[in-house]
Chains A and B, each alone.
Chain A
Amino acid sequence: MRSTLMSMLLVMSMILAACGGAAPAPTAPPAAQPEAPAQPEAPASGAVGVTPTDLTGISSEITDLPAVFNAEAARQYAGTTLRFYGDAIGLGSDMDKAMAAKFSEETGINVVVLPRPQDATEFYAQIQRFFQAQSTETDVFMMDVIWPGAFATHLYDVSDIFAAEAKLHYPNIVENNTVDGKLTALPWFGDFGMLFYRTDLLQEYGYNAPPTTWDELEEIAKTVQEGERAKGNPNFVGFVWQGAAYEGLTCNLLEWFYSQDAGTFLQDGTVTINNPQAVAALERAAGWVGSISPKGVVSYREEDARNVFQGGNAMFMRNWPYAYSAADTDDSPIKDKFDVAPLPVTAPGQPAGTVGGWQLAISNYSQNKGAAVEFVRYATSPQMQKWRALVGTFVPTIPIVSEDEEVIEAMPFLRNLSPVVRVTRPSRETGELYNEASTIIFQSANEALLGSTSAADALARAEQQLQRLIR
C-alpha cells in the first residue's frame, strides 16, 4: 500500500513536471519603442477632422488634462464599458487612470483601466490567449511596435476611421502599423536608440564634439578609458550597450547595420542579413568586447548599461530616452555631466535609431468598437501627446508635438536627435514569425559577440535559418 501511494505521488509529480515544462512562465524582452522619421507632412494649425492640433495651453499637471474634444461624438455610446489594457505601474499607470477618468466624466463611457503585465513577452502571451479565445474581455490595448504583423488579423481595421489622424504621426510608425494595407493601430508614444555621452570627460580630454563616426567613437572611448583607468578607476569603460541574447540586441544590431550601410536584416521578402558591411559591423562590435566595452556587455540589458553609465563608469552608452530622465535626477552622480547625440555612422550609412514604443489598438472581438474608436482618438491626439510628454516625458509620435518648444524644454534631447533616421525592425514582413526571426538574429549576434563563433559564420548561419523560416 505504501509503495502504491509512493508511485502515485511519483506519477503526479512527473505529470506536474511535464506541465511545468510545457507552459513555463513567459519572460520578457525589452519594451520596444516607437518614434518616427523625418519629413512629416506638417499640417497647418487648425484641426484634422475633429482632432485639434492647437497645442497652446496644455498643462504639465497630472490633474489637468486636455479637454475631450470629441466628447459630443462619444456621448452616443454613453453607458457602455470599455476595457483598456494600460500601464500597470508608476507614473504611466496614474496617467492612464487620470485619462480614463477624464474621458468617462465627459462622455459617460465607463473606461476600466486594466494593468498589463509589465513584461512585454508576458503581455504578448496574454493578448495572444485573448485572441485565441476570441475574447470580448478587452477592447483597447497597448501594443508593442513589433506586434502589428503578428496580430493584424485580430485587430479592428482603422484605415478609414483614422485616415486623417494617421497623417499627423511620423510616417515610418504608421507604415509599421499598416499590415497588408490595413492600419491596425495609432501610435501612442515611442522611443528610439541614442548615444549618451559624458560632456565633462569629452571636454577634459580635448574633444569639442561627440563622435559622428564609429571610428571616432572608438578612438575617444579608448583615450578616455585609458586616461580614467590611469587616474585610478580600474572599472572605467569606454562604451556600454545591450549585448545580452534578447530583443534589445536585435535593436542594437539594427542600428549598427543601418548606420554602416548594411541594411535591415530583411528587405522586400529577401534575407539580406549576410553582406560584407554587415560582417564588418558585427566584427567591429565583437572587437569592442573586452577592449572599449567590458566583457560582461554581452550579458547587459538596458538597466545594466544604465547603472554602469550613471555610476560614472562609462564614457558612452547606447540606450532609450528613459535613461535620460533617470540619469538627470538630483541623486545621479552624472547629473548635468551628460548629453545625447545621434548614434555614429560609417559612411555612407546614416545615423539610425531603432524604433520602439507603444501603439493603441482595438480588438476585432470588441463589442464596443464605436466607443473604443473615440477613446483612441482622444488618447493619441496631439494635445494628449503633449500632455503626456510634459507630465511623464513620454516621447511623442507626432512631429508637431516633438517640435513644440515646451516639449523640447521638457525633453531637450529631441532637438539634438532630429537627423536620426528611425528604423523599424522587420516585424511587418515576418508577421507572426517575427519573434522567431528576431531570436535567430539576436542569438547569432550574441554568439559572435561572445567569441564562440566568427561574425561571418554567425551571419551565414542566421541567413540560412531566416531563409528557412520565411520561405
Chain B
Amino acid sequence: MSQRVATTSAPPSTGKRTLTLAQSQSRFAWILLIPTIVVVLMVGLFPLAQTFYFSLTDARLASNRPVNFVGLENYLYLLQDQQFFRTVGNTVFFTVVTVGFEFVLGLLIALVINSNFRGRGLMRTAILIPWAIPTVVSAQMWKWMYHDIYGVINDLLVNQFGIFNQNVAFLATNTTVSLFAIAAVDIWKTTPFVALLLLAGLQVIPSDVYEAADVDGANKLQQFFAITLPLLMPAILVTLIFRTLDSLRVFDVFYVMLGNRRDTQTMAIYAQQSLVNFSDLGYGSTISIAIFLIIALFVVVYVTFLKIEEA
C-alpha cells in the first residue's frame, strides 16, 4: 500500500511543486477528515456559537418584543445570582458523591465478573438491567419506593428490619437527605455501566504480566496496585470523564423526584427553567455557557492531573 503511494506520488518533477511522502499522506488524511470536521462544526460549534450570541441579548422565545443586544449584562447578573451558585454547589456535590461511589463499586464489580466462574455471561448481562431502564422510568419507580406512606423502602426499614421507629420522608426531610436519596438512585442505575467500561479495560490486560508477577512473588494486593491499576488507567480515565460530564448535567432524576424545589435545583434544571419554562432565551443561554465553562474546567483538571497524553 505504502509502496504504491510512494511510486505514484513521486513522479519525475515537471517543474511543479512535488510532495514528499509524508506531505501527501498528511494531505490525504485531512481530506478524509473533512466530513467529520464539517459534521462536528455543524452539530457542535454552531449551536455553541449561537448560544453564546443569545447570551449577549435579552431574547425571549415566542415573544413579539424586539431583541436587544445587552452586552455582558446577563453575565454580570449571573455573577451575583446566588441561586445559580447554589445549583452549582448541588450539582458538584451530587457529581462527587455519585462518581466516587460508582467508581469504587464499579471497579469491585468489574474485578469480580472478570474472574472465571459459571454463569459469567449471564451475570454480565443481568447487571446491565438498571442501566437499560430509561431514567425517567426508574426515577418514578424509586419515587414510589421512597414514598413515606406506601413505599417499600420504609416498609423494609420500619416493619421488616425495625431500623427506624417511624417512616422517613426521604424526599422531603431536608436538602442533604434529599440529595443523598437522589444520589443513591443514580449510583444504582449507573454503577453497571461503569463496571462494564472497566471490565473492557481489564480484559485487554495480558495474563502473562500476572504470571511474571507470580513468579516474582508479588501478592494479589501488590499485583492490583502495581499492574492492574496502572494498566487500567486509560479505561478509568474515559470512565471518569464520561460519568463526570454526565453527572454535571443531571436533570431527569431530580426533576421527576423533587420537582422544581429551590434548594435542590441542579445547573441543568436551572437552565431549563430559564430557557423553557420562562422562555428567557438570553439569560438561559448565559447559564448554559457558564455550565459549558464549568464542565470544561473539570475536563482540564482531569487531563492535567491524570496525564491523559501518557495514558
**Footprint of B on A, CB under 8 Å?**
3, 6, 8, 10-27, 121, 125, 128-129, 131-132, 150-151, 153-154, 234-235, 237, 243-246, 294-299, 301, 304, 307-308, 311, 313, 432-433, 435-436, 439, 442-444, 446-447, 450, 452
Contacts and interface: CB of A to CB of B under 8 A. Distances in A.
Contacts of A297: 172
25 contacts: A3-B309, A8-B40, A11-B44, A14-B296, A15-B44, A15-B45, A17-B291, A18-B288, A19-B48, A22-B51, A22-B275, A22-B291, A24-B269, A27-B252, A154-B62, A294-B148, A295-B169, A296-B172, A298-B172, A308-B149, A436-B280, A443-B262, A447-B263, A450-B172, A452-B174
Contacts of A234: 166-167
Contact of B150 (A12, A18, A19, A307): A307
Given A18-B295, A237-B149, A442-B260, A435 B277 contact: yes
B69 interface: no
B268 A24 contact: yes
Given A18-B292, A21-B268, A21-B291, A439 B255 contact: no
A8 B308 CA distance: 13
Nearest to B276: A26
B263 A296 contact: no
Given A18-B292, A311-B150, A439 B174 contact: no
A417 to B, nearest CB: 27
B48 A18 contact: yes
Contacts of B256: 27
B148 A436 contact: no
A299 B273 CA distance: 19
A299 B172 contact: yes
Contacts of B107: none
Given A14-B245, A14-B295, A450-B174, 14 more contacts: A12-B40, A15-B40, A15-B44, A18-B289, A21-B268, A22-B51, A22-B288, A23-B275, A27-B255, A244-B259, A245-B259, A296-B170, A432-B62, A432-B63
Contacts of A27: 252, 255-256, 272
B149 A313 contact: yes
A439 B277 contact: yes
A191 to B, nearest CB: 20
A334 B277 CA distance: 38
Contacts of B71: none
A128 B60 CA distance: 11
Contact of B149 (A6, A151, A294, A443): A294
Interface string B233-249: 00000000110010011
Contacts of B296: 14
For the complex of A and B, 4 pairs with smallest distance between CB atoms? A296-B148, A18-B292, A296-B169, A15-B44
A153 B249 CA distance: 34
A409 B308 CA distance: 72
Interface residues of B, number: 66
Contacts of B260: 245-246, 439, 442-443
Contacts of B272: 23-24, 26-27
B149 A296 contact: yes
B147 interface: yes
Contacts of B175: 452
B263 A24 contact: no
B175 to A, nearest CB: 8
A22 B172 contact: no
A444 B263 CA distance: 10
B259 A17 contact: no
Nearest to A437: B278
Interface in B213-257: 241-242, 245, 248-249, 251-252, 255-257
Given A3-B308, A439-B260, A18 B172 contact: no
B271 interface: yes
Given A12-B40, A307-B150, A22 B277 contact: no
A295 B255 contact: no
Contact of A17 (B43, B249, B273): B249
Given A299-B259, A432-B279, A15 B172 contact: no
B173 interface: yes
A304 B268 contact: no
Given A128-B279, A295-B173, A436-B277, A24 B51 contact: no
Contacts of A14: 245, 292, 295-296, 299
Contact of A446 (B249, B257, B262, B268): B262
A17 B245 contact: yes
A228 B150 CA distance: 16
Nearest to B171: A299
Given A21-B267, A294-B148, A13 B241 contact: yes
A246 B256 CA distance: 11
A449 to B, nearest CB: 9
B271 A235 contact: no
Contacts of B268: 20-21, 24
B259 A308 contact: no
A363 to B, nearest CB: 12
A15 B295 CA distance: 10
B177 to A, nearest CB: 11
B48 A245 contact: no
Nearest to B33: A8
B284 interface: yes
A12 B279 contact: no
B98 interface: no
B24 to A, nearest CB: 17
Given A26-B272, A234-B166, A16 B251 contact: no
B295 A17 contact: yes
Contacts of B249: 17, 20-21, 24
Contact of A24 (B241, B271, B308): B271
A241 to B, nearest CB: 13
Contacts of A447: 262-263
B95 interface: no
A243 B259 CA distance: 10
Contacts of A295: 148, 169, 172-173
A6 to B, nearest CB: 6
Contacts of A244: 258-259, 261
Contacts of A19: 44, 47-48, 51
B258 A22 contact: no
A296 B40 CA distance: 46
Contacts of A307: 147, 149-150
A446 B258 CA distance: 11
A30 to B, nearest CB: 10
Contacts of B292: 14-15, 17-18, 21
A443 B44 CA distance: 34
B191 interface: no
B303 interface: yes
B82 to A, nearest CB: 12
B273 A22 contact: no
